[in-house]
Structure 1
Amino acid sequence: MKPLSIAAMTFLLTSVAGCSLVSHEDEHPSQGVYQVELASAKHFMQQANKLESEMLTFCEEGDLQQVQQQWQQTMLSWMALQGQERGPESALEKSWNIQFWPDKKNTTGRKMAALVNSDKHWNQDDIAQQSVTVQGLGSIEWLLYDQDSPLKSSTKHCHVATAIASNLASNAALIASAWEENPWSGLDEKAWTSEYISLLSNQLEYSMKKMTRPLAKFGKPRPYFAESWRSGTSMKNLKANITAMQTLYLSDGNGLDHTLRQNGHIQLADSITRQFSSTLETWPVDESLFELLQTKEGYRVAYAQYNKLEQLKYLIHEEVAIKLGVVIGFNATDGD
């Protein structure tokens, strides 16, 4: 199975969102963004279902590469929802079940090793009662990529893998269901604009945290703090984050870009669209963040990418808020 490119994934999301959009003057201003979010949630659910299916196939046929590729596609689809602090509460509260990160003490590794070494035959209900560290994408990554995983050499512990994949698919379905209704339809235009900018800012700051933790202090990086270091896909994940934020910003012509232009702030809108485009065009994906942090030159490359996100943050969190006269909501990652 050939993995979808970032561009293909973006096209899928925008196409699904675009097909659902109907132009009505009395439509709530959040509708365009809501359609993007709904499409993202459904896409994630579809990918999680495929991962569950591929895991079952792997357990029968033993094709590790096939299920690894689907894990990556599921992870990339999650990037569109990752780090958001705005939306349906029942969807947001599932975030830790989907992905336990940051994992500062390798809790996932220790918990997963204990899980596979136990005598218990695990099923989905059992996994749902366990710590979030063994429920989501990170625990499946450990099974598929870690050198200590028994799946690397045998399908003996496949019941653990299928149980976790089934639990992930179940939680993805709950998230998609939570997005079936627009959570912002009751907000007035100013409150919605503040919520929208907060949505983008929170997600952007979460992506930046995914870089600041492993970058740490100059000369003393902490590569094991990088997301998806086992699979070596951290920079691909971040590019998917940025792609998703760009899609949210544009929202098929009904997003923040449109609002800025309507209010005469064309130069600022152009600056943001250029920053998104140039960041994506120059984003390195051939090496993971873990690999980049092994050398001084790699560290400089990684830090240069972080600076691109800093510029996006300044434009969206500062400039847009000032131009539109709105107050940005509190970000749960502040002070973390």
Structure 2
Amino acid sequence: MKLSLLSVSILLSTTIGLTGCNDEQQTMSNAVHGLHLQSAKQFSSAAEILDDDIASLCRHYSEEQLLTTRTAWQNTMSAWMQLQGREKGSEEALALSWQIQFWPDKKDTTGRKLKQLLKQDKMWTASDVSEESIAVQGMGAIEWFLYEQPTQLQEAKGCNLANGIGDRIAQSGQQLEEAWQDNPWQQMTPQLALSEYLGH
């Protein structure tokens, strides 16, 4: 869930209150940037856990491990919701949005494309997945396996593809964290930095 307007305002005003007025511009910019960087780190960490859980599920399929992996997916999705829908900020980070979550998918593009890929006899890697449609590179693709077609994770081809997608999501998480290392609001006034954050 995204931080509420009230919690963001309290955080920023408290941070600014601890510094002098001369540092207000820098403080506001750093606070807004810090929120994004923290969210990116949380997503990256959750994506790594999800990737590991997908691999564990494929090694030893069980209902218990399926539930564990679904929980990991939910945690990763929750972490992503803090950044999902952003339209301002790091250009590199914004460019990753569609490959992390292809949404809305009203025509079930993800499901149709995954079925096509499952017909191919290949060992899928993150690099292979990155060359396919963005519809099969992210959270929606793993959701399809975990909730719509979990039996595919009992098959070699299904696990092959799911592992490749899990690796791709973890890779995207690392790229997202790297993209937020630089502060895109460094030179902005406090008011503009805040409006950039709140304006999505």
| TM-score tier (shorter) | 0.7 to 0.9
User: Residue 93 of structure 1 is aligned with which of 87, 92, 95?
Assistant: 95
Q: CA deviation at 1:33?
A: 2.1
The one-letter amino acid paired with 1:50 is I
What is the alpha-carbon distance in structure 2 between the residues aligned to residue 66 and residue 196 of structure 1? 34
Deviations 1:234-289 (A, max 9, x none): xxxxxxxxxxxxxxxxxxxxxxxxxxxxxxxxxxxxxxxxxxxxxxxxxxxxxxxx
Query: After the TM superposition, which residues 126-141 of structure 1 pair with which residues of structure 2 at under 5 Å, given as runs?
Result: 126-141=128-143
The one-letter amino acid paired with 2:128 is D
Q: Is the 8 A contact 2:135 2:141 kept in 1?
A: yes
**Greater mean deviation of Cα atoms: 57-66 or 100-109:** 57-66
The one-letter amino acid paired with 2:51 is E
Task: Tell me what 1:171 maps to.
Answer: 172
What is the alpha-carbon distance in structure 2 between the residues aligned to residue 117 and residue 144 of structure 1? 19
Gap regions ≥5 residues in structure 1: 1-5, 200-336
Q: Is the 8 A contact 2:89 2:196 kept in 1?
A: no
Q: Is the 8 A contact 1:51 1:165 kept in 2?
A: yes
Task: Tell me what 2:196 maps to.
Answer: 195
**Greater mean deviation of Cα atoms: 91-100 or 21-30:** 21-30
The one-letter amino acid paired with 1:186 is Q
Q: TM-score if structure 2 supplies the norm length?
A: 0.83
Q: Is the 8 A contact 2:32 2:194 kept in 1?
A: no
Gap regions ≥5 residues in structure 2: none
Query: After the TM superposition, which residues 53-64 of structure 1 pair with which residues of structure 2 at under 5 Å, given as runs?
Result: 53-62=52-61, 63-64=65-66
Q: CA deviation at 1:105?
A: 1.0
**1:71 maps to 2:66:** no
Change (3 A) 1:184 1:65: same
Q: Is the 8 A contact 2:84 2:97 kept in 1?
A: yes
**1:24 maps to 2:19:** yes
Q: Is the 8 A contact 1:128 1:135 kept in 2?
A: yes
Task: Tell me what 2:163 maps to.
Answer: 162
Q: CA deviation at 1:188?
A: 2.2
Q: TM-score if structure 1 supplies the norm length?
A: 0.51
Q: CA deviation at 1:149?
A: 5.4
The one-letter amino acid paired with 2:49 is K
Q: Secondary structure at the match of 1:40?
A: helix
Change (3 A) 1:130 1:167: same
Change (3 A) 1:36 1:95: same
The one-letter amino acid paired with 2:46 is Q
Q: Secondary structure at the match of 2:112?
A: helix
What is the alpha-carbon distance in structure 2 between the residues aligned to residue 193 and residue 44 of structure 1? 22
Q: Is the 8 A contact 1:142 1:149 kept in 2?
A: no
Runs of 4+ in structure 1 off by over 3 angstroms are none
What is the alpha-carbon distance in structure 2 between the residues aligned to residue 187 and residue 171 of structure 1? 28
What is the alpha-carbon distance in structure 2 between the residues aligned to residue 160 and residue 117 of structure 1? 11
Q: CA deviation at 1:64?
A: 1.4
Q: Identity of aligned pairs, percent? A: 39
Q: Is the 8 A contact 2:93 2:180 kept in 1?
A: yes
The one-letter amino acid paired with 1:60 is R
Structure with the bigger RCO (C-alpha within 8 Å, sep 6+) is: 2
Q: CA deviation at 1:144?
A: 0.9
Q: Is the 8 A contact 1:108 1:139 kept in 2?
A: yes
Q: Is the 8 A contact 2:51 2:170 kept in 1?
A: yes
What is the alpha-carbon distance in structure 2 between the residues aligned to residue 60 and residue 162 of structure 1? 11
What is the alpha-carbon distance in structure 1 between the residues aligned to residue 165 and residue 67 of structure 2? 18
What is the alpha-carbon distance in structure 2 between the residues aligned to residue 166 and residue 117 of structure 1? 20
Q: Secondary structure at the match of 1:86?
A: coil
What is the alpha-carbon distance in structure 2 between the residues aligned to residue 190 and residue 47 of structure 1? 32
Q: Is the 8 A contact 1:113 1:149 kept in 2?
A: no
**Greater mean deviation of Cα atoms: 154-163 or 95-104:** 154-163
Q: How many residues align?
A: 183
What is the alpha-carbon distance in structure 2 between the residues aligned to residue 120 and residue 146 of structure 1? 22
What is the alpha-carbon distance in structure 2 between the residues aligned to residue 113 and residue 39 of structure 1? 36
Q: CA deviation at 1:147?
A: 4.0
Change (3 A) 1:68 1:182: same
Deviations 1:285-331 (A, max 9, x none): xxxxxxxxxxxxxxxxxxxxxxxxxxxxxxxxxxxxxxxxxxxxxxx
What is the alpha-carbon distance in structure 2 between the residues aligned to residue 72 and residue 194 of structure 1? 30
